[in-house]
Amino acid sequence: MNDREVPWYKLLNKYHWFVFIVAALGWLFDTMDQQLFNLARRPSMLELLPLTPGLNTASLSADEFKALVGEYSGYATAIFLLGWATGGLTFGVLGDRFGRARVMMWTILAYSLCTGLSAFSTNFWDFAAYRFLTGLGVGGEFAVGVALVAEVMPEKARSFALGWLQALSAVGNISAALISMSLGHLEQTGVVGDLSIFGFKMTVWRLMFVVGTVPALLCLVIRSKLKEPERWEKASHEGAAKKVLSYYADLFSDPRWRKNAFVGMFLAFSGVVGLWGIGFFSFDLLQLVFRKKFEGQGLTQSQISGELAYWTGVASVMQNVGGFFGVYAFSRITHVIGRRKAFLIAFTAAMFSTAFVFWNLDEFSEIFWMIPMMGFCQLMIFGGYAIYFPELFPTRLRSTGTSFCYNVGRFVAAIGPFTFGLLTSKVFVNVPGEAVRFDHEPMRYAGVFMSLIFLLGMAALPFAPETHGKPLPE
């Protein structure tokens, strides 16, 4: 039986499986930390903004404070993405210089410890600083992780392994959702009501960040067992560039790699804005819509907080169950029709599903079909990134090139949540004393308008090289 007839997973030996599991856990915990932030973002802003120097929230009406929360939620997300992009660019180069395994350990340690620090924020500014530092580690982990898997796996198994690596990230997101749901239930029952650490009362969002320190333990496994890929060892010993900046000089001196880097960057920009600047704000929309329903039931604020944490967790689970199958679907579809056609399908589906959900989500029952549909379409794109970006660059530049695509795209994409926050607080709002212009939540209009960002990803596809069925560049 030849390699074409053997299922991809039967081509892996014990060490292949070990590398895959370690890389998958690193990315799984990475996405768990990302999702903990998305779930905790609005509750943290509600608590921290009144404590922030320079913000006179006491004089604001309820609607004005709600708009301010939306605006600063966008700022916090943009700052996190800027940290993510900075870390990705920095650690991506370090991964080519010092090795995939070693740098992966550094990134996991960074995002775990700084996530824990977020639990002890006293106002918006130190919270934003901790999110930036967390982003440094989060951004670096992806680039070195996919480079490691791409270089260790057998050729016939590479795209499948990378597809599953990205699909398993949904498990990290679901884990965050389950943490949110569990802590929300404990808050409703009063179990965590009096808990404090270092003098900080541990509300649900703070406890979520405390749990986010757990991935640091994975570093012990990486340090003791993981080896550098033979491809990287060979490239390094043959005298690949010795200075950090020379990696980028090498990347942009060759027209082929330069073109691939910019194509990948525009593909990433579209998808990252779609997910982080729109999709993950569906949790904020849900909390706005359902808070009104719970307030109409006469619940206490503690009960409302617990209910919102629970239902936001449910929505996150649904989104990421859909996302898991979306990533897996990309890995199967692209194996048949190629990378570019699969991306075109994914961008088109993401645009229409995102606009539909933001305009129509209004009932609890809709969480169970609208949110998974949107998650399937949006996360499908990210399955493409994990497979496609490592195929665009040679071994000596694979981590650097992948990092450039994903993280320069994220630098630019930081304007997404920033713009979303401004749209909800400054543009799609009704002015007191004037005729009513918008009869829905401002967040609905912002989400529908920003769904057009997926058109940019489609526009980049004619310039993207087709890599399906081709070996990795050397």
pLDDT at 192: 65
364 falls within a domain:
yes
pLDDT at 439: 55
Q: Which two tokens stand for residue 437?
A: 């212009």
Please choose, from the candidates 93, 94, 13, 79, the residue with its C-alpha nearest in 3D space to the C-alpha of residue 41.
79
415-447 residue pLDDT tens: 877 777 777 776 666 555 554 455 567 888 888
Strand partners, 200: 197
Distance CA 161, CA 12 (A): 10
357 falls within a domain:
yes
Distance CA 139, CA 173 (A): 16
Please give the helix or strand (H or E) that residue 166 lies within, else none: helix 158-167
* Maximal C-alpha separation, the chain: 77
Domain count, the chain: 1
Distance CA 405, CA 457 (A): 13
| Count of C-beta atoms within a 10 Å radius of residue 348 | 15
347 falls within a domain:
yes
Helix residue ranges, H only, 168-281: 169-188, 204-211, 218-225, 230-237, 244-253, 255-276
Q: Which two tokens stand for residue 251?
A: 């990347």
How buried is 126 (Cβ within 10 angstroms: 0-12 exposed, 13-18 middle, 19+ buried)?
A: middle
Distance CA 238, CA 324 (A): 39
Q: What are phi and psi of 252, to 5 degrees?
A: -95, -5
| Count of C-beta atoms within a 10 Å radius of residue 473 | 18
Q: How many CA atoms lie within 13 A of 168 on its CB side?
A: 19
401 falls within a domain:
yes
Please give the helix or strand (H or E) that residue 196 lies within, else none: strand 196-197
468 falls within a domain:
no
DSSP for 417-433, written as a single string: HHHHHHIIIIIS-PPTT
423 falls within a domain:
yes
CATH of the domain at 255: 1.20.1250.20
| Count of C-beta atoms within a 10 Å radius of residue 316 | 31
Range of the domain at 163: 8-463
Distance CA 12, CA 15 (A): 8
What residues contact residue 171 under an 8 Å CB cut-off, 6+ apart? 28, 320, 324
Helix, strand, or coil here: 428? coil
Q: Are 16 and 153 in contact (CB under 8 A)?
A: yes
What residues contact residue 363 under an 8 Å CB cut-off, 6+ apart? none
Q: Are 327 and 169 in contact (CB under 8 A)?
A: yes
pLDDT at 402: 81
Angle, vertex CA 346, rays to CA 379 and CA 287, nearest 5? 45
469 falls within a domain:
no
Distance CA 471, CA 170 (A): 28
Please, what are the averages of pLDDT over each run of 10 residues along the chain (474 residues)? 68 88 83 85 91 88 82 89 84 78 83 89 94 87 79 83 79 85 75 73 85 76 72 60 62 89 92 85 83 78 78 87 89 90 96 94 90 94 88 83 79 77 70 53 85 94 91 77
Distance CA 92, CA 437 (A): 47
Packing angle of the helix pair 398-413, 124-152 (nearest 10 deg):
150
Q: Which two tokens stand for residue 333?
A: 């579809």
Residue found under tokens 């907080």: 305
Please choose, from the candidates 147, 407, 469, 148, the residue with its C-alpha nearest in 3D space to the C-alpha of residue 264.
407
34 falls within a domain:
yes
